[in-house]
Amino acid sequence: MTVMAERTSYMSVEEFEQIASVAPETVTLEFINGRIGEKRVPDGDHDTIIMWLLRQCIQARPECDLYPTGRGLKVEEYRKGRARPDGVLAPIGHFAGTGEWSDPDGVLMTVEVTSYDGDTERRDRQEKPAAYAAAGIPVHLLVDRDHCELVVHTNPAPEQGRYLDVHQIPFGTQVTLPDPVGFTLDTEALKNYVH
């Protein structure tokens, strides 16, 4: 049996940003854990989940915006990674005047919705939560369509690159997102957007 070692890129953040800036609009790139990754084009259910969550956020937190897919964040330790969460909750106007890649300070929550592809386990369940925790983002919400559950990550430990509190809540129940997000979601509707 051949064991393949995982390769790590030695590309600088600046080199990645240059490549990402000239990538066609049909390609979305991220740079996490020293590797370039392509973010898959979302399907209709994925987009519907983000829109559902956007409506919930606007109703519960009218002073905030949920920026949908595309808002680039500087993540990981020393901001050496670049991620495009499926959603970013921040105060209205928070990203005004910033460039393509914004500092995560002031972000209340990041959101990821799993895709049905081969690297979901590594990317959505391991690398991205670690990157968001290292950046000190207070709440990370994973809508896990494979397991039909929300995974709420809180209490980031940036120096450890992980969230200290992780709670898995099955679709169909209510979940209170802790401060600084501070509102309750009824997740019954999410059952309609998995297959």
Number of domain units in the chain: 1
Domain-embedded: residue 16: no
pLDDT of residue 144: 95
Domain-embedded: residue 15: no
Domain-embedded: residue 97: yes
Domain-embedded: residue 13: no
Across 76-98, b (16+ Cβ under 10 Å) vs e yields: beebbbbbbbbbbbbeeebbeee
Tens of pLDDT, residues 128-157: 999 999 999 999 999 999 999 999 999 999
Q: Are 111 and 86 in contact (CB under 8 A)?
A: yes
Across 102-119, b (16+ Cβ under 10 Å) vs e yields: bebeebbbbbbbbbeeee
Domain CATH number, residue 145 = 3.90.1570.10
Domain-embedded: residue 9: no
Q: The domain containing residue 120 runs over which residues?
A: 43-193
Domain-embedded: residue 3: no
Q: pLDDT tens, position by position, for the chain (195 residues)?
A: 333 334 445 677 777 777 767 776 666 666 667 776 666 666 789 899 999 999 999 999 999 999 987 789 999 887 788 999 999 999 999 999 998 899 999 999 999 999 877 777 788 899 999 999 999 999 999 999 999 999 999 999 999 999 999 999 999 999 999 999 999 999 999 999 987
Domain-embedded: residue 84: yes
Domain-embedded: residue 17: no
